[in-house]
Amino acid sequence: MLTETQFKILYTVIQKQDYKFTQRELAKEAGFSLGKINEAVKELTEAGLLNNMIQISAAGHEAMEPYKVKNAVIMAAGMSSRFVPLSYEKPKALLKVKGEVLIEREIKQLQEAGITDITVVLGYLKEQLFYLGDKYNVNIVINEDYYRYNNTSTLIRVADRLDNTYICSSDNYFTENPFEPYVYRAYYAAVYEAGKTDEYCISSNNKGRITKINIGGQASWYMLGHVYFDRDFSRRFVRILRNEYDDPLTKQQLWEDLYIRHIKELDLYIRKYDADKIKEFDSLEELREFDDKYLKNANSKIFTNICTALDVKEEDITNIVPIKKGLTNFSFRFTVNGKEYVYRHPGVGTSNFINRTSEKKSLEIAKKLGLDDTFICMDEKEGWKISYYIEGAETLNYHDEEQVKEAIRMVRKLHTCNVKTNFTFDIWEEIRKFEERLEAQGNTQFEDMQELHDIMEKLRGLIIREDNEKCLCHCDTYDPNFLVDASGKMYLIDWEYSGMAYRGGDIGTFIACSDYTREEADRIIDMYLEHEADTKEKRYYYTYIAAAAYYWFLWAIYQNSVGNDVGEYLYIWYKYTKTYSREAKKYFEK
């Protein structure tokens, strides 16, 4: 094994094979003192790795083989959710910076360093990146888990390729090519931050070996940019990754977090770079600072929509912040001329179950009724929407009596407005569609699915014969869709599922998404009716609590299948389906 000094001398000579170095020139080029170079050159010459003209021999080339970079992996599967709105339309890797596509620039820099075995791992909007295979002769690997797991799900797919390997992020921009055909040992690139940072901050010993990582720090070197796995690091890391990959923690975290947990057995060194050599753009604002082209033309249809709708210029759109609460759509907040707005971008696959024309019509009605005056405009074909942002808004508290009364009043106002649209939301028909969709996916194979289906079918037949009158309904009346501003004013937002429907569905959804006991549910029904419910009314609303719970239960299974984690609601809706279908059945039997 070569010492680091010997490696650097041989590498320097290889880089300029036709040049005849003096030892003084070699010391300057390799960055060592003349005395250290003289001693190392003598050792290499005696070992037959250099000749007397300080030129590398065949034996020298052979000694360098263990340090030769074998390949590179570029991770390009993630969505880059912080980089809104551009990441809604294309992978961040395809952004043009200073006239070059980010990932293309990185591939070319690797190839210029002699690294031609390059694997690109794709996930989000993968089809937009397929062309790289032909254009640059790179390998394409698909990570189908990109939306549910973190980047360990990318590395597990290329575990058998990890050797002397560069690990790269597709969204890095290197002002100078950092890649080399030979590397002495495993390292993580780092830049210095004099102030506070939330990044992964590095502590290392006097040899540069990383000993500790802290998330967040001040006056610190932090991880940024490319990483190099040498053969020994890859072997150890792959063994750990494979052993621990089934652990949910491993899947949900970054590969760096797995490394940190095993930092004592994984030798990784810090390699320091000037901050102007490695760029990573976490937001559009950062990209605008580096490439002022993005101030006036980000080549984004979303920006074009905003400019047209609000009659503004792109440079007027500032303070862009993603909003993460939506389960089916992507949204971000932005500021124009001191006013704050929200842009809603439709999620993948939502056109399968959402009628945008119906949504727009309902929004226009809701605005006239004073139920949602945040609405500004919407494109019914593409599904995007612009609204006013409600500063300091909080969601409905199911146990705040005044808030609940106001929410129920708003629902009743909608139901009794006597306004009709040409669009319907038949919860029973929507249940059938979801059952068929899930059946086709093979997502209905659990023990009591048939039992749930059978009892809901029985209740449907009973209740439709008894009451099949429809009115305009919201059809998604759960707590996050009731917003309360600082003055106490309430807004009923998100009208995606709205249409002519059974009024029981709105009360059913309101209750099915709560933690109410049956006694509390009865109070909500009475509050809506403005009198104590009789037997017939109770069985009507119990049926629709069960129907709403079952619909949203099926919806949740579908959302999970396309990567949107619904969380605890899945079990809540399952439980309410069973509880209230039994109660409704009892009342029908009476």
User: pLDDT tens across 263-289, in order?
Assistant: 999 999 999 999 999 999 888 888 888
Cα–Cα distance measured from residue 467 to residue 554, given in angstroms and rounded to the nearest whole number = 24
Confidence of residue 102 (pLDDT cuts 50, 70, 90): very high
Q: Which helix (H) or strand (E) holds 332?
A: strand 329-336
Question: d(Cα 475, Cα 187) in Å, to the nearest integer?
Answer: 54
* Residues 215/297, Cβ–Cβ less than 8 Å: no
**Band of pLDDT at residue 83, cut at 50, 70 and 90:** confident
Q: Rounded to the nearest 5 degrees, what angle is found at the Cα of 181, between the Cα atoms of 177 and 185? A: 100
Q: How confident is the model at residue 230 (pLDDT cuts 50, 70, 90)?
A: very high
Mean pLDDT lowest for which of 1-15, 126-140, 155-169?
1-15
Range 71-280 has CATH code 3.90.420.10: no
pLDDT 10s digits, 25-71:
777 777 778 888 888 888 888 899 998 888 888 999 999 999 999 99
User: Which CATH architecture best describes the domain 4-66?
Assistant: Orthogonal Bundle (1.10)
Q: Where in the chain is the domain with CATH 3.90.1200.10?
A: 395-589
Question: For the ranges 16-30, 68-82, 88-102, 463-477, which has the lowest average pLDDT?
Answer: 16-30
pLDDT given at position 327: 52
* Predicted confidence band of residue 24 (pLDDT cuts 50, 70, 90): confident
**Inter-CA distances, 575 with 196, 409, 473, 515, 523, Å:** 47, 27, 24, 11, 20
Distance CA 517, CA 495 (A): 27
Phi, psi (rounded to 5 degrees) for 346: -65, 140
SS (H, E, C) 120-175: EEECCCHHHHCHHHHHHCCEEEECCCCCCCCCHHHHHHHHHHCCCEEEEECCEEEC
Chain length of the chain: 590
The dotted CATH code for 395-589 is 3.90.1200.10
* First vs last C-alpha separation in the chain: 87
Most confident range (mean pLDDT) of 255-259, 561-565, 580-584 is 255-259
What are the phi and psi torsion angles at 111 (to 5°)?
A: -65, -35
Range of weakest confidence among 4-18, 168-182, 477-491 = 4-18
What pLDDT score was predicted for residue 324?
65
Mean pLDDT, range 103-121, rounded to an integer? 97
Place of tokens 């080549």: 299
**pLDDT value at 444 more than 90:** no
Nearest to 251 by CA among 157, 141, 143, 153: 153
Q: Where in the chain is the domain with CATH 1.10.10.10?
A: 4-66
Amino acid identity of 450? Q
Burial class (CB in 10 A: 0-12, 13-18, 19+), 391: exposed
Say if pTM beats, i.e. exceeds, 0.85. Answer: no
Res. 569 pLDDT band, cuts 50 70 90: confident
Confidence of residue 105 (pLDDT cuts 50, 70, 90): very high
Tokens of 361: 């019509």
Residue span(s) of the chain under CATH 3.90.550.10 come to: 71-280
Measured CA to CA, the distance from residue 362 to residue 476 in angstroms comes to 13
